[in-house]
Every structure is written in C-alpha cells, then in structure tokens.
Chain A
Amino acid sequence: MTFHMKSAALAALLGSVAFAAAAEDYTITVWSGGTGDSSNYRIDAISIAAEQMMREAKVRGEDLNITVEGQAWSGWDDFKQAVTLASEAENAPDIIVSGHEDIGPWSEAGLIRPIEDYVYFDTWPLNTIYPNLIQTASFNGQIWGVPQDAEARVMFWSIPALEAIGWSRDEIESLADRVQSGEFTLADMVDTVKQMQDEGVIEPGMGFGPRVSNGPDYWQFYQSFGGEMADPETGKLIVDTAALEGMYGFFADAVEQDVVSQTHLGTEWDVWHQNAAAGNYGAWHGGTWHKAQWQNQFGLEDFFGEVQYTLIPAGNEAGRANSITHPLVYLLSATSTEDESAIAAELIAMASAPDINALHAVKSAHLGISEDETQVPLYAGDEWLAAASERLAPHTNAIPNNSDFGTFWTAMYQGLESSWTGATDPAEAAQNVADSVKKSLGDNVVVR
C-alpha cells in the first residue's frame, strides 16, 4: 500500500484542528549556528514575531501561547554536528538557522521540511525578499528555507599603508572601480603589499591577511581565476582544474613572497581580528559583518578613514572580481509535529518583516534580505550597509546547494592547505583535488 506522506500529515493536522477552540500552548525551539554577541537577533526576531502573533491571536479572539526557546552556537562545526545528530535522534529544534548550503544534504536525508508547504511566498513580507536569495534557499524545485540575512565578502585595504607607499587620494578611491573592472588583479595586490613590507610600512609576513580557516571565502579566489562551482543550468558541480591551480599558485606565491606566513591557516580568530582592527595588515579579506566586530570589540574607530574596501580582485583574464554571499536561512525541522512546524513557519515569515530583519542587519552589519528593508530608516541610516549594498552586493553569488558540494569543499581546502604549506606544488594539488572529487562523485561532477 502506498503510504502517502502528505495525506498522513494532513490527517494528523486536521485531528488537532478539532481542539482549536481550546487554549493552544506551543514551545518553539530555535537553534542558531555561527551566532555571537552581535547576531542575537537571529533568535530574538523569532521571539518578537511570537509576541506579535500572540497579540494577533488575541485580536481574533483566540487564546494562543507561544514560548520561544533559543540556543546559539558560536561556531559551525559543533552546531552542525548537534543539529544533525539531534535530527537523527528525533529531538531537533523546531527552527534551525544555518547556512543555505545545508539544504542539499539535510533535505535529502529528510531532516528538514520544505517551508513552501507552510507559508505563501507571494504574500507580504516573503514576496519582497530578493529573488536571488530565494534561489539560494531552493533545492530540487522546492523552497526549503526563508533567507535570514545576506552579506558580501570583502577585500579590505589599509588606507594609511597605501598612503605611506605614495598612493594618492584619487588612486585609493578609484581602487574599488579598478578592482571591479578587472584592471587591478590579485597579482597587483601582492606587489602592492610587498612594497608596503619592503618600505617598512607593514611588518614582514603581514602584508596580506586572509581568512584563517575554511570558509566560503576561498571560493572567491577560485572564481577570481575563472572557476565555476556549479553549472548554472543543470546545477552539476564543476571542478575547474586550471582555476584551482591558479588560486593555489596565487597563495603559494604569496607565501613565497613572504606577504603571508606559511602557517597562517589555523591562526586564532582573535589574533586575526586584532591585527585587522589595528591596521597591521596591508590588505585582508573578510566579511561585511566583521566591521561590526572590529568596532564593537576590537577598538577600530574610524573605519571609513582607515579602511578601503573592494571586491576580491580578479586573478587572471579568465576570472572576474567577485564576492560570495553566504545567506543564512531559517529551516523547519522534520522532527517537529505538523502543528509546531506550521506555527514555526508563520513565525519565520513574520520575523522576516523588513523592520524586524533590519535589527539583525544593522546590529551585525549583514545585508538585508529585501528591497523594502533598505527603506527602513534604521537600515537606510547605516552608512556601511548602504555603501556595501551599492558597491559589493550586486556582484555577489552564493555557493551551490548541492548535497555533494561538501566533498568538493573539503577536497578544495585540503589542496589549498597542502599547497599553502608547500607540501605539494599547486599543479599537483589541483590535480589531486580533481582526481579525488571525480573518484567520490563520479558522474555527478564535471572536471575541466
């Protein structure tokens, strides 16, 4: 006999409707990853929405009680491990706030429910969300999550250091355009920071301060050298060996030139933040949200006076200047009851209202999720968000939602580590990545 999941779920749902007249009590749990002091609104927005929903219920004459329980994880590995294992053990939270790339594996494993079954994406506020963000929350023709924030990743430049090696005001200001047009490349960047070091402006080995750990950021360099992560048409993963070799070569060369240390990967975040905020690096790359941390926790005062910001420069002719956005999404756990999921989904929709989402965007320096949000005075009044939205956001793209991407991701970073530390030369490392990904994924990947 066919077991039709949808009808079974419906039966369960309708069964409970019979009791709708009685007071309804819900406890909605929210787990959020990568969430620190400045990003508390990932969870708090749901509480605000719950408050609002209870008022609305009261206005309709219903008695509804919602308690929101949140748990924030500061890192990602713990969080994803906890979510995965808890889902397997069927006691996952109702709402999960995670990176959009988790949709692939989690939906395949049946750990999450498509949120499009619970809310209307053609009504306010969800209909105002940028279509490209909705795209990142979709997989296999279904919308699985509601985008929670967006961002751009940025190449930062020390203005005092650029001035010290004789750059004019004009040159510094036009840098963003020159990077964007592809005129100013990664090779030029290495030359520039090398010059800073040679002239004693920046200490040796501190010219360039890349991200200290694995993250979406490194895929920007893959794109700088013409790499494409997945075929936009078919969604199939693409391993571009030449682009890998290009980016590995770039970092190996940067190490060779001593603008970054051979053991930079694995440096503590704290140390990196301190150096970035203190202007110890000539150029470094991070995310839009880091600015909030540098100002709030690491004592950077005059951001716009000290720091120039651009896209990640192109690496060669084949590539382009680019930036990667890594939207977080609100997801519904498949281990909740249908009722809990229905409430949770509506809370998520309400929390996505421009004014509520703007609290998170401005406090944590993330980009907003909708056009309307940019009109919210709080958001519109933020110089950094306005600037980043204009200069960076239009050029961003996201990593693919593909359940196999993790394999490629891990292999790419291993290759990066081994060429960075000089264990393998870039060409060989790139070939190793191509071989191992091909071996694991077979027909599901195209090697170029």
Chain B
Amino acid sequence: MTRNFALFPLMVVIILVSLPLMTMYGFLILDTFTDAPPGELWPDEFTLRHWRFLWDMSAAGNVWMATLNTAVLALSMVAVVVPVSSLAGYAISRLNLPYRRFFLAGILVMHAFPAVTLLIGVFFVLKFTGLYNTMIGVILVKGALMLPFGIWIMKGFYDAVPWEIEMAGVQDGASRLTVFWRLIVPQVKPGLVALSVFAFLDGWGEYLLPRVLAPGSEMTVMSVLLNQLIAGDDIGFDFNLFKTVGVFYTLPVIALFVIFQNRLMTIFGGGTKG
C-alpha cells in the first residue's frame, strides 16, 4: 500500500534492532554442532559431541524420560484447559448466569494478574488435597492459572459465531447442548486448535511450578533437568552442551509454533483483548 517509500533504510533499521536476537538464536543453533576456542567468537571445529546426551545418559541425565514427562505435562494441560475453558466460555458468552458481569470482570482481572505470587496459598491447598509433590497437582494448578485466559479466548470465539445458527437449531427443537455440540463447536474449531497449542506450549516451557510444587517427584521435566545442568556451585558447566539440550528441548515448540503460527496470531490477538 505504501509503494512510494524506499525499502532499504527500513531493512537496515530492522536488522540492526533485531541483531541481538538474531545473534542469540543463530549461535544457539550453531553452537550445538561446533566448538570455538576459548575467548573466540567463531567456531573452528565441527563436532557432534554436544549431542551425545541423546544416548549417553551420564552427560545430562535421562533426557528421554524427562522429555516424556514434559510431554505428559503439556498434553495434560491441553486436556484440562481446553474442555474446561470451552464449556465455561460458551456459558459466559451465550447463557444467562447469575452474577455474570461480576464473573466476567473477575476473569478479566485474573487474566491480567498472573497468580505466581500466590504460591504460598497454592501450596497450602495442595498440602490439604494431598497433591503436593505430585505432577497432578502441578497440572491442576497450572491449568487453573491458565483458565481465565482460556475462558476469555473461547468467549471471544463464541461471540463471533452468528447467533442465527444457534437460533435456527433451537427452533428446530434441538436441545441447547446438542446445538452447542453439533453446531457451535465446529464453528470455533480454530479457537480450540489455537488454545490447545497455547496450552501445550505453556505446559512445555513451565519451570517454576514443577520445581516448587513437585521437587521430589519422580517426574523430572526438561526445564528442571536443564536448569540443574547449570545450577550449583561446583560444576564447571558446559554452555554448548546446555544449549544443545536446550535446542532439543525447544525444537518441538518451534515446530508447533511454525505450523500453527497464523492461528496463534489470532489467539495472541484474542488474548490481548482481555
């Protein structure tokens, strides 16, 4: 639309601003296959040594198990967040609820207010439900913290469905639930997909909750394993090994992100509207 302006200065500017990120991510990938002499920027040697953790469990612990655990956490997040949010989102979008306004305001406030500061209270609840130090506890807490976001997103998608569709269904004598399942859910599929991906990403990257709420759990997730590689005062750690494990850990996320990029944009857009 703005053909008559020069492109070149823009290119320079955008590249300059993005340089730190490009460097960080560029070297992130580069360093997993190479070694650089100490004090040098550029690598001088190609090596697959950093990937040895894939078969040598002594290098970085049992990464496969941790990956599986992380996948379980992430998928469970999807299983909790998506159904619960889509039901609640529908109710809040279409049905007459008592204190609806109040509830909606609450969702908005909670959405904007990440509840990690409430960890002490969360711990107390987990202690009483016997869920402390279990992955189930982490999943439920993490899921609950994501609900305001999920509900708000789904409400947005339901709002966008023309209500004539629903009206027609109801007038044909179908129950409200059938209408919801048969007519409405297919309409909000993009929202469901996007929310699923988002819940997955959120679960996949989570670090704080497993560490604080399930430290002795058998289920070590990748983020905790990864941080153990660098923590502590007596291990001369290996940045390249760490980065390689990190890339291995992040690849599924990047892949998902690339595949679903456009849909995610919708949800980012939707998400920002709360």
Q: Of all chain A residues, which has the CB nearest B120? A: A85
Within the complex, the shortest CB–CB distance from B146 to chain A, in Å, comes to: 23
Knowing A74-B228, A86-B133 touch, does A37 contact B235 (C-beta < 8 A)?
Answer: yes
Q: Of the candidates A86, A91, A93, A269, which one forms a contact with B233 in the assembled complex, judged by CB atoms under 8 Å apart?
A: A269
Q: Of the candidates B130, B216, B236, which one forms a contact with A297 in the assembled complex, judged by CB atoms under 8 Å apart?
A: B236
Within the complex, the shortest CB–CB distance from B2 to chain A, in Å, comes to: 48
Whether B232 lies near A31 (C-beta < 8 A) is no
Knowing A86-B133, A91-B216 touch, does A36 contact B236 (C-beta < 8 A)?
Answer: no
| Contact of B212 with A by CB under 8 A | yes
| Contact of A270 with B by CB under 8 A | yes
Q: Of all chain A residues, which has the CB nearest B128? A: A89
Whether A36 lies near B233 (C-beta < 8 A) is yes
Whether A85 lies near B123 (C-beta < 8 A) is yes
Q: How many residues in A have their beta carbons less than 8 Å from beta carbons of B? A: 24
Within the complex, the shortest CB–CB distance from B141 to chain A, in Å, comes to: 14
Contact with A along B117-159 (1 / 0, CB 8 A): 0000001001100101100000000000000000000000000
Whether B132 lies near A85 (C-beta < 8 A) is yes
Residues from chain B with Cβ under 8 Å of A37 in the complex: 234-235
| Contact of A106 with B by CB under 8 A | no
Whether B216 lies near A36 (C-beta < 8 A) is no
Which residues of B (202-241) have their CB < 8 Å from a CB of A? 211-212, 215-216, 228, 231-237
Q: Of the candidates B123, B216, B231, B237, which one forms a contact with A75 in the assembled complex, judged by CB atoms under 8 Å apart?
A: B231
Q: Of all chain B residues, which has the CB nearest A38? A: B234
Whether B235 lies near A36 (C-beta < 8 A) is yes
Within the complex, the shortest CB–CB distance from B165 to chain A, in Å, comes to: 49
Within the complex, the shortest CB–CB distance from A54 to chain B, in Å, comes to: 24
Which residues of B (243-261) have their CB < 8 Å from a CB of A? none
Contact with B along A65-81 (1 / 0, CB 8 A): 00000010011001001
Whether B235 lies near A297 (C-beta < 8 A) is yes
Q: How far is the CA of A36 from the CA of B231 in the complex (A)?
A: 10
Q: How far is the CA of A213 from the CA of B237 in the complex (A)?
A: 19
| Contact of A298 with B by CB under 8 A | yes
| Contact of A293 with B by CB under 8 A | yes
Q: Of all chain B residues, which has the CB nearest A93? A: B216
Q: Of all chain B residues, which has the CB nearest A213? A: B233
Whether A78 lies near B236 (C-beta < 8 A) is no
| Contact of A82 with B by CB under 8 A | yes
Q: Of the candidates A31, A88, A270, which one forms a contact with B237 in the assembled complex, judged by CB atoms under 8 Å apart?
A: A270
Q: How far is the CA of A85 from the CA of B232 in the complex (A)?
A: 21
Whether A86 lies near B132 (C-beta < 8 A) is yes
Q: How far is the CA of A358 from the CA of B132 in the complex (A)?
A: 37
Residues from chain A with Cβ under 8 Å of B132 in the complex: 85-86, 88-89, 91
Q: Total contacts A to B, CB within 8 angstroms?
A: 65
| Contact of A273 with B by CB under 8 A | yes
Whether A270 lies near B236 (C-beta < 8 A) is yes
Residues from chain A with Cβ under 8 Å of B133 in the complex: 85-86, 89, 91
Whether B216 lies near A71 (C-beta < 8 A) is yes
Residues from chain B with Cβ under 8 Å of A78 in the complex: 211, 215, 231
Whether A269 lies near B215 (C-beta < 8 A) is no
Q: How far is the CA of A71 from the CA of B224 in the complex (A)?
A: 14
Q: Of all chain A residues, which has the CB nearest B137? A: A89
Interface of A is mostly: helix
Residues from chain B with Cβ under 8 Å of A82 in the complex: 215-216
Residues from chain B with Cβ under 8 Å of A89 in the complex: 123, 126-127, 130, 132-133
Within the complex, the shortest CB–CB distance from B200 to chain A, in Å, comes to: 27
Knowing A85-B132, A91-B133 touch, does A273 contact B236 (C-beta < 8 A)?
Answer: yes
Q: Of all chain A residues, which has the CB nearest B130? A: A89
Q: Of all chain B residues, which has the CB nearest A92? A: B216
Q: How far is the CA of A31 from the CA of B217 in the complex (A)?
A: 12
Q: Of the candidates B127, B216, B231, which one forms a contact with A31 in the assembled complex, judged by CB atoms under 8 Å apart?
A: B216
Which residues of A (231-280) have their CB < 8 Å from a CB of B? 269-270, 273-274
Residues from chain A with Cβ under 8 Å of B126 in the complex: 89
Q: How far is the CA of A293 from the CA of B236 in the complex (A)?
A: 10
Within the complex, the shortest CB–CB distance from B73 to chain A, in Å, comes to: 19
Knowing A81-B212, A82-B216, A91-B216 touch, does A74 contact B232 (C-beta < 8 A)?
Answer: yes
Whether A36 lies near B215 (C-beta < 8 A) is no
Whether A36 lies near B127 (C-beta < 8 A) is no
Q: How far is the CA of A89 from the CA of B128 in the complex (A)?
A: 8
Whether B234 lies near A36 (C-beta < 8 A) is yes
Within the complex, the shortest CB–CB distance from B103 to chain A, in Å, comes to: 32
Knowing A86-B133, A89-B126, A89-B132 touch, does A81 contact B215 (C-beta < 8 A)?
Answer: yes
Within the complex, the shortest CB–CB distance from A7 to chain B, in Å, comes to: 28
Q: Of all chain B residues, which has the CB nearest A268? A: B233
Q: Of all chain B residues, which has the CB nearest A277? A: B236
Q: Of the candidates B216, B231, B234, which one forms a contact with A86 in the assembled complex, judged by CB atoms under 8 Å apart?
A: B216
Residues from chain B with Cβ under 8 Å of A93 in the complex: 216
Q: How far is the CA of A430 from the CA of B150 in the complex (A)?
A: 51
Whether B216 lies near A269 (C-beta < 8 A) is no
Within the complex, the shortest CB–CB distance from A370 to chain B, in Å, comes to: 26
Within the complex, the shortest CB–CB distance from B240 to chain A, in Å, comes to: 15
Residues from chain B with Cβ under 8 Å of A88 in the complex: 123, 127, 132
Knowing A86-B132, A89-B127, A91-B132 touch, does A74 contact B236 (C-beta < 8 A)?
Answer: no
Q: How far is the CA of A273 from the CA of B236 in the complex (A)?
A: 9
Which of B127, B212, B216 has the largest count of A CB atoms less than 10 A from its CB? Answer: B216
Q: Of the candidates A71, A74, A90, which one forms a contact with B234 in the assembled complex, judged by CB atoms under 8 Å apart?
A: A74
Q: How far is the CA of A32 from the CA of B237 in the complex (A)?
A: 21
Contact with B along A194-234 (1 / 0, CB 8 A): 00000000000000000000000000000000000000000
Q: Of the candidates B130, B228, B234, which one forms a contact with A269 in the assembled complex, judged by CB atoms under 8 Å apart?
A: B234
Q: How far is the CA of A297 from the CA of B215 in the complex (A)?
A: 27
Which of B123, B127, B215, B228 has the largest count of A CB atoms less than 10 A from its CB? Answer: B215
Q: Of all chain B residues, which has the CB nearest A298? A: B236
Q: How far is the CA of A36 from the CA of B237 in the complex (A)?
A: 13
**8 tightest Cβ-Cβ pairs between the two chains A and B:** A74-B232, A269-B233, A89-B132, A82-B215, A36-B234, A89-B127, A293-B234, A297-B236
Can you list 21 A-B contacts with CB-CB less than 8 angstroms, sorted by A residue number? A36-B232, A37-B234, A37-B235, A74-B234, A78-B231, A82-B216, A85-B215, A86-B215, A86-B216, A88-B127, A89-B123, A89-B126, A91-B216, A269-B233, A270-B235, A270-B236, A273-B233, A293-B234, A297-B234, A297-B235, A297-B236
